[in-house]
Structure 1
Amino acid sequence: MPTPLMVRPELLSKDLTGKTYVITGANSGIGLVTAQQLARQGATIVMGVRRVKEGQRVAAEIRSDAPSAKLVVYQLELGDLASVRGFAAEVNRNHPKLQGLVNNAGVMKTPFGHTKDGFETQFGVNHLGHFLLTNLLTDSLKAGAPSRVVNLSSFFHEFAMGRKGDIHFDDLNYQRRPFDSWEAYAQSKLANLLHARELGRRLAGTGVTTASVNPGFVRTNLLAIPLPMWLQRLLVIPVLRLAGMIEPWEGAQTSLHALLAPEVEQHSGAYYSQIARYKDKPSRRGGWPLSSPNPVAHDDDVAARLWSASEALVQA
């Protein structure tokens, strides 16, 4: 595999004092690394997490490394739209001017199930919860402009274990057709990309820039391996590294680039990708930005239709 793409060093020393970023799933993996870096640069980080005590523990660890770090922890369950609304209300009340929203949290290859509001789990958590959250925070993002919205997508929006990424408008929540977990994951990650694309179009001229990102094949909590950690380190992780697996710091690079690089403002709605094992070989080197190899990712009619369908489902 090629060498991972890395953020320019000067961007990681940029003073972010006075800026506020909301990060969902900020207590682990890529979200945690992103929160740590932005906090070191002086930003205030609003951590949206399912378990507040765990989030507070992680925030304390970040402060132990960077004593001046400014972090607040609010409860957020993306699979419960009432929780999303409550979280957004708290953010808007306490942080009326935002410079960034990182829709980072997600689930992968879950068994068939439903969110509290009856949506297929992956589509509900990965896309609809973040779609509603973004809508509810848009006024604060406009008030804090220039600001950015970054959606965590995946290279699996092209193909996920052989299942082509598509938006199944006739049955978004698998109410009639047989459930396929990888197909559902691909749909949710394509939805993240299309959401950023359509959001960029709708927010043109407001000072809010949008992006979707592929962090790459990252060693995170989504990668559940039923082996003791010592055995993973000895046998599994070296093999996965050869297959292209990267560490969370490398995986966070694309999110940080999308948040901090000034040139991103010229490509609102674009897709940014770390190196990855795309089925499309030329795309494997990644790109900031990258033209997605999935033709559906470029279909503005699909993006607009998904927006309308999502609005109706969450009653935004």
Structure 2
Amino acid sequence: MSKGWTKKDIRDLTGKVAIVTGGNSGIGYETSLALAENYATVILAVRNLNKGHEAVDKIKREFPNANVHVLKLDLNDLESIKEFAEDFRKKFRSLSILINNAGVLMPPKKETKDGFESQFGINYLGHFALTGLLLDLIIKTPDSRVISLGSLSAHSIKPEFKEFLGSKVKSNAMKRYAQSKLACMYFAKELQYRFRARNIDSISVACHPGIAQTYIFGKGSRKLKTRLTRASLKMIGQSAEAAANPILYAATDYSIRGGEYIGPDGRKGIKGSPTELEILDQQFVENVSSNLWILSEKLTGITYKF
């Protein structure tokens, strides 16, 4: 049962190695902090190393014996993702928890270094590539988990995974964000299906944090409409610490079997205690998911080897 679950319910994570993308700020930071507090070895996978080291110092001020590290990861660049995977392999021989957290929400329109629309490229394709590059370590590590972040914005849309190259995108920024998050949710279900079909005991879980009082929305934008929306979300949302609970529940709780979609249990899913949701099962279309996987391998050049 997840009723009333908080980070105080996290089990002892001694011996677990965890990667948190975007672990230096917001929900990612709170997730990293809680994992470190419970004795996991935590790697903050971050674009800005200075901010990463500042986050490590902040964690260690609270928990001096925390085992926390920083490695550079720029999800905007497939080459950087490959370099991160190589660096991680040099330092660690197992991977118990991969939390695909980092993302952008309605930034100024641009493309990734590899030519993808930025939200799809960073939020989804970058994490697809990262997971694939670390797949063998995940599979060989007992009780390993891959956690992919979805979003409330993806709950009322149908998959439209055809407009992923930056110059061809026609939809507005919010729709692009929602599609990128729906792709993450589909990925989590498809990865679990492929684990189970091969009798691999690793598990894949999707989750969403509700609405968090963070600075991800419209980062870099000065438009008045964006600033007003950001302010209103901050008023109705929950703290980053509370928003991290669905992620932490998915990553650590013994009740998780794989394939679930976890989110807050409050009104409209905005805030509350983590619980299992049915919405992803209702949205999921098997052949669309399979086609998305094939497309993702083609676009990233990363082929999953189970």
What's the TM-score bracket when you normalise by the shorter of the two chains? 0.7 to 0.9
Asked if residue 118 in structure 1 is aligned to residue 115 in structure 2, the reply is yes
Letter in 2 for 1:38: L
Residue 303 of structure 1 pairs with residue 289 of structure 2 = yes
Say yes or no: does 1:16 pair with 2:8. no
Contact 2:19 2:43 in 1 (8 A): yes
Does 1:288 find its partner at 2:275? Answer: yes
* Aligned mates of 1:196, 1:115 — CA distance in 2: 23
Report which stretch shifted further, 74-83 or 179-188.
179-188
In the TM superposition, structure 1's runs of 4+ consecutive aligned residues that sit over 6 Å from their partners are: 283-287
| Distance in 1 between residues matched to 2:4 and 2:47, nearest whole Å | 30
The letter of the residue matching 1:154 is: S
Q: How far apart, in 1, do the equivalents of 2:185 and 2:254 lie?
A: 20
Q: Distance in 1 between matches of 2:118 and 2:189?
A: 23
Other-structure match for 1:247: 239
Q: Is the 8 A contact 1:214 1:254 kept in 2?
A: yes
Q: What residue identity is the alignment partner of 2:116?
A: F
Amino acid at match of 1:246: Q
Say if 2:205 is the partner of 1:211.
Answer: yes
When residues 287 and 73 of structure 1 are mapped into structure 2, their CA distance, relative to the original with a 3 A threshold, is closer
Cα deviation for residue 287 of structure 1 reads 6.2
The one-letter code matched in structure 2 to 1:59 is: V
Question: RMSD of the TM alignment (CA)?
Answer: 2.7
Cα distance, 1:8 vs structure 2:
5.0
- Which of 146, 159, 164 in structure 2 is aligned with 1:166? 159
Question: What 5-or-longer segments of structure 2 have no aligned partner?
Answer: none
- Identify the residue that residue 183 of structure 2 maps to in structure 1: 191
Q: Deviations over 1:12-40 (max 9, x none)?
A: 3x221111100000000111001001101
Does the alignment pair 1:257 with 2:249?
yes
Partner of 1:140: 137
Q: 1:315 aligns with which of 295, 301, 304?
A: 301
Q: SS at 2:33's partner residue?
A: helix
Listed as ranges, the matches of 1:56-205 within 5 Å are: 56-159=53-156, 164-169=157-162, 171-173=163-165, 175-176=167-168, 178-204=170-196, 205=199
How many residues align? The count is: 292
Distance in 2 separating the partners of 1:177 and 1:52: 31
Distance 1:241 1:106, change over 3 A: closer
Secondary structure of 1:310 counterpart:
helix
In structure 2, distance between residues paired with 1:286 and 1:298: 24
CA, structure 1 residues 174+115, in 2 after alignment: closer, same or farther (shift >3 Å)?
Answer: closer
Letter in 2 for 1:208: S
Q: 1:145–1:206: 8 Å Cα contact kept in structure 2?
A: no
State the Cα distance separating 1:302 from its structure 2 match. Answer: 1.1
Give the SS at the match of 1:263. Answer: coil
Matched position secondary structure for 1:203: helix
1:175 Cα deviation (Å)? 3.7
Choose which of 32, 50, 62 in structure 1 pairs with 2:47: 50
Q: Give me the identity figure in percent.
A: 31
Distance in structure 2 (CA, Å) of the matches to 1:122 and 1:79: 9
Q: Secondary structure at the residue paired with 1:288?
A: strand
Distance in 2 of aligned mates of 1:16 and 1:29: 22
* TM-score normalised by length of structure 2: 0.87
| Aligned mate of 2:259, from 258, 262, 269 | 269
Q: Give the Cα–Cα distance (whole angstroms) in 1 for the partners of residues 41 and 6 of structure 2.
A: 22
Hey, what does 1:31 align to over in structure 2?
28
TM-fit CA distance, 1:292: 1.0
CA distance in 1, matches of 2:177, 2:109: 11
Cα deviations by residue, 1:27-61 (Å, 9 ceiling, x for unpaired)? 00111001001101111001100111110111011
Judged with a 3 Å threshold, the aligned counterparts in structure 2 of structure 1 residues 91 and 158 are, in CA distance, closer, same or farther, namely: same
